[in-house]
Structures are given as structure tokens and as C-alpha cells.
């Protein structure tokens, strides 16, 4: 199992969500910690990023993360609904 590290902006965003949605996100993050390579590896400028997709009710959410293999750590970069997810992720990563 890998350790999970979460970016501060993700922590702040998650705190504003209802408790039941936070719990679903925690369960999905645990799945990533147990099998980090199950997510989809992105290409191009996001080639270091993996994305895990899941649904909350009918809305698709994504978790973007990087794997630091030598430290057995996963850094969660972003969590959110699919709409504008990749645009916002690129802004966060590349300014």
C-alpha cells in the first residue's frame, strides 16, 4: 500500500463538500493507495499524471495523482467533476 499525500487546495475544496461525498472520495482514494497503476495514465504534457474515474450519484468525478515510486507515495493533485477538470489541472501544474 502506498501513502497518500494531498495538495492543500484539494483539502480545502474537499472540506466544503457534504460529509457523504467526502466519504466516497476517501474510499476511492484508498482504492488508489492499494493499486495506484489502475488509474489511466495521461499523455502529452500530463504524462506524469494518472486519473482515477468514479461516479457519485450520476456525476462523474476524477482524481488526478502522481506516483512517487521510490517513496511509495501518491500525491493527489486534483479532485473534481469532469467539466473543466483537465483545464484546471493544467493551470495548477503549469501556472
Ordered by start, the domain boundaries in the chain are 3-94
Grid cell at residue 31: 482504492
pLDDT (tens digit per residue) in 24-41: 999 999 999 999 999 999
Residue 66 has pLDDT above 90, yes or no: yes
pLDDT value of residue 95: 85
Residue 49, C-alpha cell as written in the block: 499524471
The answer to whether 51 touches 44, Cβ cutoff 8 Å, is no
Mean pLDDT across the chain, nearest whole number?
94
In 3D, which of 23, 3, 5 has the Cα closest to residue 14? 23
The answer to whether the pTM exceeds 0.85 is yes
CATH architecture designation of domain 3-94 = 2-Layer Sandwich (3.30)
In this prediction, what percent of the chain has a pLDDT beyond 70?
100
Amino acid at each position: 500500500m502506498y501513502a497518500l499525500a494531498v495538495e492543500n487546495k484539494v483539502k480545502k475544496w474537499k472540506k466544503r463538500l457534504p460529509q457523504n461525498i467526502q466519504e466516497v472520495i476517501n474510499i476511492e482514494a484508498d482504492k488508489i493507495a492499494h493499486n495506484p497503476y489502475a488509474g489511466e495514465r495521461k499523455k502529452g504534457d500530463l504524462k506524469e499524471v494518472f486519473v482515477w474515474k468514479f461516479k457519485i450519484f450520476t456525476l462523474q468525478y476524477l482524481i488526478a495523482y502522481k506516483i512517487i515510486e521510490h517513496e511509495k507515495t501518491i500525491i493527489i493533485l486534483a479532485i473534481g467533476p469532469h467539466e473543466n477538470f483537465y483545464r484546471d489541472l493544467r493551470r495548477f501544474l503549469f501556472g
